[in-house]
Structure formats: structure tokens, C-alpha cells
Amino acid sequence: TGSSDPYCIVKIDDEAIIRTATVWKTLSPFWGEEYEVQLQPGFHSISIYVMDEDALSRDDVIGKVCITRDMLAEHPKGYSGWMSLSVVDPDEEVQGEIHLRVEVLGSQGGRRLRCSVLEAR
């Protein structure tokens, strides 16, 4: 139909911790959702998967972005901007990007992740 029913799943080291709302029938969803969660001291990466909800079969993965611990260390005030989606399924073509704001708050003993999933296109 030329549109999707997108939502996002945020994972820390492959553990799903956040699911945004589904935005129905669009290729340019706006979520504007902000989350704050505890961050394990030894985490490696944060992955954001953009999904297409499908009522009749398994939801499709549109693409993903991955933010490593090292990338966050390079941006001590956090990262904010558009990131291109990368391929999850090698048989699928991926086009699109997601607008995120990600920052690590607190000290080594009690760090939190603040993640804002803003929009995609």
C-alpha cells in the first residue's frame, strides 16, 4: 500500500528494554518519546530497531542503528541527530533514517540511559 505501521524497539546488549507506540499508515512517523533506564556498567551497545507491525504475520524489521559504548564516549554530552538505518535481513533493501537523542547520565556507579526516539523517514 506504500506505507508502513512503524514502531521502534530499543535494546541494550540484545535485551529489549523499550517499545515505542505504533504509528499507523505512514513512511514518516513521529514518536517524540523519551525514556530513561538504568544502564549496566559493562554494557557494549544500544540498538534501535525500526519495525513494521503486521497483524496477519510476524512483524518485519525495516532496519536498525547501533550505538556502541565507544561512540557514546566520543560524545560526552550525548548524541543527537539523524542516523541511517542499516540492513538486518541481507535479502531486504533498507532505505531510511531515524532521528535520535541518546545520552548517558550519572557516574560509573549509577549510570542511566536517556533515549529520545523522535522520528523517522
Asked if residue 82 is part of any domain, the answer here is: yes
pTM assigned to the model: 0.92
Domain of 81, in residue numbers: 6-120
Asked if residue 1 is part of any domain, the answer here is: no
What percent of the chain is predicted at pLDDT more than 90?
Answer: 76
Please tell me the total count of domains within the chain. Answer: 1
Asked if residue 19 is part of any domain, the answer here is: yes
Asked if residue 45 is part of any domain, the answer here is: yes
Name residue 100's amino acid. Answer: L
CATH number of the structural domain spanning residue 69? 2.60.40.150
- Give per-residue pLDDT as tens, 31-86: 999 999 999 888 999 999 999 999 899 999 999 999 999 999 899 899 999 999 99
pLDDT at 75: 92
Q: Which residues contact 28 (CB under 8 A, 6 or more apart)?
A: 119, 120, 121
Q: Is the dihedral of CA 28, 33, 38, 41 positive or negative?
A: positive
Asked if residue 69 is part of any domain, the answer here is: yes
User: Which of these, 44, 19, 15, lies nearest to 115 by C-alpha position?
Assistant: 19
Mean pLDDT confidence for 91-116: 88
Q: For the chain, give the mean pLDDT.
A: 92
Length of the chain: 121
